[in-house]
Structure 1
C-alpha cells in the first residue's frame, strides 16, 4: 500500500510491513456505496477492517502520516463524493460492536456498536438515560465524535470517557471534559478513531426503559423517511431555529436535482430516489442552503460529513 513507511508493496498491492492480523481485512479499490446509506459515491483506495485494537494501532503506526484516514461506522451521516476517497477507510466491524454492563449504571461500548444495541443492552441491565441512542442511526464512534443527540439528550450527557487510537497509532483515554463538547461538535483529535466508550446512565426499570424506546421509535417512524436512501439530518439546527422549518419556509419541500430530493416528510432529510449521484445530493444541499440564506438570512451548516473527491 502506498504510504506504508519503508514497506514497499507485496504482490497484489498489499503492504508487507504493518500487514494486518489473520482476521483483519485490507481491501484495495473498495466500493463504498454499499456501505453508506445514500448508496452513492466512489471507491476507497484502501479499506481496512481490523480484528483487534492492537492491529489497528500497529497498522496506523506504520502508515505514512500523509495518507488520509477516514473512520466509517454505519455510513448514515455521510456523503462519499463520486471520485472516491484517496486514502485509507477504517471500518470497525463485529469485533468492535460489543456492549457490556460494568455495574448498575455504567456501560462499556465498542466503537462499532450501534445505538440500538447500546440502548437495548442498557434496558436489559436496568440502566436508564441512554434510550435516545435508539433513535440515532450510527455507531458509538460517531456519537462520541459528533456529540450525537436526539429527543433532548446528547452524548455529552452520558459519556464518561473514551479510548481512541490516534492517527499516529498511539492509544489514549479521553474524558468527556477533554472533548469540550458543544452542539454536534467535539475536540476529538483529527484522524483519531474511537475504539470504545464508557457511558453512565441511572438505575431504571426495564419495562419503563422499553416504553421510552418504543415512544422514540414511533416518533421517528411518524416523522422521518426511515425506509428511504437518506443520510439522516442534513443540516445542524442554527441557534434559535429548526433547520427543517427554515428549509420548508424557503420553499424547498420536495425540491429535486436529478434523482436527489428534499424529503416531503421531513425537510431536513435529503433522499436518493434511485439513481442520484453524490454530486446531485451535495448540489441539492447547497441549493437548499442558498435558498434558506436568501429567505431568512440564516446560513445553514452541514451536519452530514462530505468526504472524498469529485468525479
Structure 2
C-alpha cells in the first residue's frame, strides 16, 4: 500500500500553532499576554452529531405539519388496501378494507387539510361526525325497539356505545401518539362535557324556544329514573378518578406502566362500566327498586 493511500486513510488530526505579537502601531499598546496557541479541531465528529440532531428534529416536526395531500391522493389512499402499501398489508387489512370501503370513499370527500389552514377539513369533519352520530343513534334506538329493550337501557348501551366509539378511538390514538396522558384523558373529559353541556343544553334551548312560541307553555320533561342512573354514574366516575390518582403515586403515570398492573386497571375500568349498565338496567326493569326524588 502506497504512502499516499495510507495518508488518506488516516484520520485527520487536530492542528495547533502559536501566534505572538511583538509590536503595535496606531496608538495601540501591547498588554501582558502577547502570545496564544490556536488549535484547529477536526470537526467531522461534530458535523456528524449536528447532522443526526437535524435529522431527528426533522422526523419529529414532520408529523406536526399539515397534511399536504390532494383530493386525488385522498381517493387513491381510500381505494387501495393499507393506503397503497401492499407489501406490508396483512390479511386482516384486506378484510377491514372491504368492510370500510364505503366509509373510506365518503371521508375522502372531506377537503384536504392543506386548504385554508385546515379549517374546511375541520368544519366538514365535525359535520360528517355529527351526521353519522345521529344516524348511529337512530339505528341503535330502532334496533333496541325491535328487540324489546326499554328506552333507558337502549340509551345507556346501544346509543351510548354508537356515539362514543369515535371518542374511544380518538383517545387510543392520543394515548399512542402523545408523550403524556393529557390528550387521552382530556379527550374523555372534553367529549363528555360536550355531551352534557352542549349535547343537552342546545337541544333543550331550541325545544324550549319552539315550545314557547308554538304553545305559550313551559317545556318540561320529567326525569323518571334518571336520578338513580346519575348517582350511580357519578360514583363510578369517582372510583375511576381515584384509580388515576393511585396510579400517579404508585406507577408514576396515568397510562401504561407494568403489564400486570395496567391490565388490572383496565379490568377495573371495564368492570365499572359493566356494573353501571347492569344496575341501571335492573332499575329500569324494576328488578331493583331505588326511588330518588319524585317523578
Q: Bin the TM-score by the shorter chain.
A: under 0.3
TM-score (norm 2): 0.27
TM-score (norm 1): 0.26
**Which structure has more helix as a fraction of its residues?**
2
**Which structure has more strand as a fraction of its residues?**
1
Q: Which has the higher contact order (CA 8 A, sep 6+)?
A: 1
**Structure of higher CA gyration radius:** 2
